[in-house]
Every structure is written in C-alpha cells, then in structure tokens.
Structure 1
Amino acid sequence: MAFDRERMKEEVARLAARNVFIGTSSWKYEGWLGSLYTSVRYEYRGKVAAKRFERECLVEYAEVFKTVCIDAAYYTFPRIEYLQGLADQVPDDFRFGLKVTDEITIKKYPNHARHGAKAGQLNRDFLNAELFTTAFLKPCEEIRSKTGVLMFEFSRFWPSDYEQGRNFVADLDVFLGKLPKGWPYAIEMRNKNWLAPEYFACLARHGVTHVFNSWDAMPPVGEQMALPDSRTNPKLVAARFLLKPGRKYEQAVSAFAPYKSVKEPYPDARAAGKALIVENKKSPDRKTFVFVNNRLEGNALGTIEALIEPDVD
C-alpha cells in the first residue's frame, strides 16, 4: 500500500495535540524518496543531489511529523550551530529527541575504529555530570523550547564493567543527582536483567523516564511495559522501536536496506506502540514520545502508519 502523506500529516497532528509525538530515528533516508520526500525538491540536473537532500530534507520531514530522534548527537557532542540549524528547519510545535553523546554513557570503549586511540580503554568521563552539562546540555539550551526528550543510551554492560546491576544503579543514582533539574531526561538500558525494582525506583526518585526499547537482547516492549513501576515519570513516557528482539543490527541492515517498504511486520511491537498511544488518553498531561527505526520492520513510515490506525484513538 502506498504511503499516504496527507493522512499521516493529519493523524500525526491530531496525536501531537494530545501530547503524543510519533516520529522516526533519524530522517535522511533516500529510500523514502517518492513516499515522504518529493524527489524534485532535491534534484540537480535531473538527479537527486545527495548533499542537498541531507541538508534540506528535514524541512519536508517536519511538514508531516512533529518529532524525530537525532542519532548524530550520540557520536559527538553537538555544536550550537548544528542544533540551531536543525531547529530553524522545523516549526515551533516540533520536538526533538536527542541521544546523549556516548562519551558520557560508555564505561569502556569498544574496539571500534571510530574510537581511535580510545578503543579498548576505560572511559574516564563515564557518567561525568560536569562534562555532560557543559558539552551537551549547554548547546541544547539554544533549542530548549523544541527539546522533547534527552536519552542516555547505555549499551550492554559486561561483568567486567559491573558485577551486578545494583552497582550500576548506585553510580547512576549519584550521576542523576548531579544533573541540572528541569530537563526531560530518560534512560535506555540494554541489560534486560537490570530492569529491576531498584532501577525503576532510582529513576522515579529523580523524575527520569525509562525508555521502553525494542532491541536484540532486550525483552519485547510489551513485556517491559508490564513490569511494575516501569512508568517512572508521570509527565513523560518514551519508547524506541529499533530492532526485533533476537535480530542483530547487521542482519536487519542486510534484510531491509534501502528501507523502501515494510518487509516483515512485527505484531508485538505494533501492539505495544498502539497501547502506549491509548494509555496516553488516561493521562493527557503526560507527553509520550514514540520513535520507530527502519530496521524494526523494513520501513519506519509503514510501521507508523500501522500504529496510528483509527482503532487506537
């Protein structure tokens, strides 16, 4: 079924008016040309100019959606100019989700080439509240009115990092206590056994949200939602539908790229996403952010279309 751009625009706006913000993880996908994006807007001499598309497509994205997750902030501290440039391309009622830079959330740098000389080394700035405040939060001040949620993504910890989850929770508790108040903080965990009462209690103590996340080694979002006290902030709920549990990132890329259409519907994720939307009706003052990745089913646009079917309202 062809992507219905106008219907999506109407449904997204209707939900945003109820404080439900649904969008995608990143937005620069050429596979969406001809559905969300209009090719002629980016053409040069009859062909889509890649640099023009990357530079300008957020404007067209924001004509339909009211939120997006900025994944780029995870890889390097964002510059004020970069964030302001994004904010200038979206309307006032648009809300960004930002992943906090991994220099704050990695305990030991993986042996990845992108980490250079730091690869394999302990991170001296892990949970460094002062660095987070100056290098990440300060630039975000420039777009605070358009900031919806700041997400600390903690990749899976190993026994060499923490012997037990409660040791991490103790460190997290200290870190959260040092952060400036008044920002919409959220924590995304990748250790399924650490979704325990003391973890949720720590977040609730600081008014921080747990990010329900669909990931290869995590329980399905529906199972996370069923955990007692998992709604740790009465004013904010966040979910990221990234991968089907049990599927590796590389497998999803191989199976789904270039993300032009849904290849493999994942009913459990769709049911959980719909449930989050319905749940918001009981707490209309609470903001709910739902971000969908292409690698969940093959095409985030198609997944979102399924989530916003009329029966969820």
Structure 2
Amino acid sequence: MAFDRDRFKPLLAKLAGQGVYVGTSSWKYPGWQGMLYDRQRYVWHGRYSDLRFQRYCLAEYATVFKTVSVDAAYYRFPDRRFMEEMVSQVPEDFLFALKVTDEITIKRFPNLARFGPRAGEPNPNFLNADLFNSAFLAACEPYRKHVGLVMFEFSRFYPRDLARGRDFVEALDQFLGRLPSGWRYGVEVRNRNLLHPDYFAVLARHGVTHIYNAWQHMPPVHEQRALPGSRTTPDLIAARFLLAPGRSYEAAVSAFSPYDRVQEVNEPGRTAGAELIKEVLTSPIPTRAFIYVNNRFEGNALETIAAMLDRAGLG
C-alpha cells in the first residue's frame, strides 16, 4: 500500500493522542524522498546536499510521525549535543525510543573493527546499572518528556557467552532492580529460548515491557504474543518489526536497498502490527504502545506502516 503523507499525517497524530505511537526505525533514508521527504528542501546553492538531508530531515519526518526509534544511541553514549540536535527538530508532543548503548547490553564484544583491542573480549560493563544511570540516563534527563521508551536490545547470546538462560534472567533481575523509576523500559532479546515464563515474570515484577520483535532467529511477533505471560505490562506495549524470520541483516540490505518500495510482503507481520494497534484502541485501561518498523522488514517501512494501519481499519 502506497504511503501518502498528507493522508497519514492526521491519522498518526490522532493515534498518538490515543496512546498509539507508530513510527520507523531510524529516519535518514534517501529512498523515502518523494514519499515522506521533499528533495527540494535539501537543495543548497542550487545543488542537492546529502549532508543537509542527513542533518535536518528529522524535522520533516516529525511533521508526519509522532515517534521514531533511535539506533544511534546504541553505538555511543548520548550526550547533551546529541540529544539537543534531535529534540530541537521535533514538536513538543514527539517521543523518541532510545536504544541503550551496547556497552551495557553486550556480553562479549563482537569481532568488529570498531571495538579495537576489545573485540572478542568479555565486556566488564555488561548490565552495569551505575554506568547506565550516569552515562545514559543522565544525558536523557533534561529531555525526559521526549523519551517515550528506553530499549535494552540484547544481541544474540552464544554458548560461550551464556551457558544457561537462567543466568541471564537472574542478572537481568538484579540489573532492573537498580534502575530509577519514572522511565518506560523495554527489553528485547534475540534468543528464542529466553522467551520463558521466568524471563517474563522478571519483567513483570519490575514493570518492564517485553518488546515483541520480528528478527532473524526469533519467532514471529504473533507467536511471541501467544506465549503465556508475554504481556508483561498492562499499560504498555512495544514491538519492533526488523527482519523477517530466517533472513539475515546482510541479506535484507542486499535485497531491499535503497528501500524505496516494498519488495516482499510479510502478511503475518502486517496482521500482527494491526492487531497490536487495535488492542490498545480497545483497551479498558489507558495504554501506550510503541510500534516501529524497519525498512529491512519488507523493503520500505513507510508502506509497511500504511498497510498495518489499513489492516487495522484505520487507513
């Protein structure tokens, strides 16, 4: 389904007013020009400037959407400048979902160049609550009203990183118990064996939502939702549609770039997104939902969102 910004702008605003925040995973995609972005807006001295687009397109994004998932905070701790550059481009009612820096959530540093001599080594700051509070939340505090959700994304654990799922659940329990209240927290795991009643019980005890996630090695969102106890917070729902089950990140990039159109419809994912929206709209208690779609799920997040809204009877 095509994305018509003029059509969906009032609908997305109305949904946000009802507690349903629907947005994309990141926003700096030239492939969205002509759909969400006006290319002429980034012409400087007669020439299109990709630098201007990358730096300022959030302001145009925020004229249509009321939320976005921020991946950049995953790679380095946010600072005041980082937060100010984003917040200065959005209206008062716009909410960010911030992915917590990997210094907190990685058990062992991957063998990637960006980790330098730490590559392949255990991370001494894994689930370090003091560091999270001082290096992450402290930077967010002045902009708290714009932070809709704080997301802990735990990359897939391998046997050498974690012998038993129980060990992670116990460590997570201790970590969550040391976090300050007043923020909305969500946890996203990438090992299907962690979708266990004990894991859900820990989240529920701390008032933290399980983030339903469509990803390579995880069950589809509708299957996660069917698991007993998976709805860990009665007044908060979060979901991220990132990759179709079975497809790697690299394969999705190769198949779908430059993300200017849907190339593979994921019917179960669209239905799951629509059902999440309807669940909140019909909830007997005030509930907030944060639902994000990545380009690598179907090829174009904007069109996927349009299809979800249409399937929810709202398009």
Q: What TM-score, normalized to structure 1?
A: 0.98
1:139 is matched with: 139
Identity of aligned residues (%): 57
What do residues 62-104 of structure 1 show as CA deviations (whole Å, max 9, x unaligned)?
0000000110000000011110221111111111000000000
1:228 aligns with 2:246: no
1:84 is matched with: 84
- Tell whether the 8 Å contact from 2:2 to 2:306 is kept in structure 1 after alignment: no
1:177 is matched with: 177
CA–CA separation in structure 1 for the residues paired with 2:312 and 2:223: 22
CA–CA separation in structure 2 for the residues paired with 1:180 and 1:114: 30
2:304 is matched with: 303
Give 1:167's aligned amino acid. Answer: D
Post-superposition shift, 1:45? 3.8
1:239 is matched with: 239
Q: Structure 2 matches for 1:18-57, cutoff 5 A? A: 18-57=18-57
CA–CA separation in structure 1 for the residues paired with 2:281 and 2:36: 28
SS in 1 for 2:210: strand
CA–CA separation in structure 1 for the residues paired with 2:274 and 2:125: 38
CA–CA separation in structure 2 for the residues paired with 1:3 and 1:222: 24
CA–CA separation in structure 2 for the residues paired with 1:177 and 1:63: 38
Give 1:285's aligned amino acid. Answer: P
2:252 is matched with: 252
SS in 2 for 1:212: strand
1:312 is matched with: 313
- Tell whether the 8 Å contact from 1:277 to 1:312 is kept in structure 2 after alignment: no
CA–CA separation in structure 2 for the residues paired with 1:278 and 1:57: 30
2:72 is matched with: 72
SS in 1 for 2:177: helix
Post-superposition shift, 1:126? 0.4
CA–CA separation in structure 2 for the residues paired with 1:92 and 1:156: 36
- More displaced 10-residue stretch of structure 1: 84-93 or 96-105: 84-93
Post-superposition shift, 1:2? 4.5
Q: Structure 2 matches for 1:150-165, cutoff 5 A? A: 150-165=150-165
- Tell whether the 8 Å contact from 2:274 to 2:311 is kept in structure 1 after alignment: no
1:212 is matched with: 212
- More displaced 10-residue stretch of structure 1: 109-118 or 43-52: 43-52
Give 2:151's aligned amino acid. Answer: M
Give 1:103's aligned amino acid. Answer: E
SS in 2 for 1:54: helix
Aligned residues: 313
SS in 2 for 1:96: strand
What do residues 110-155 of structure 1 show as CA deviations (whole Å, max 9, x unaligned)?
1011111110111010000000000000001021001100000000
Q: What TM-score, normalized to structure 2?
A: 0.97
- Tell whether the 8 Å contact from 1:221 to 1:272 is kept in structure 2 after alignment: yes
Structure 1 gap ranges (5+): none
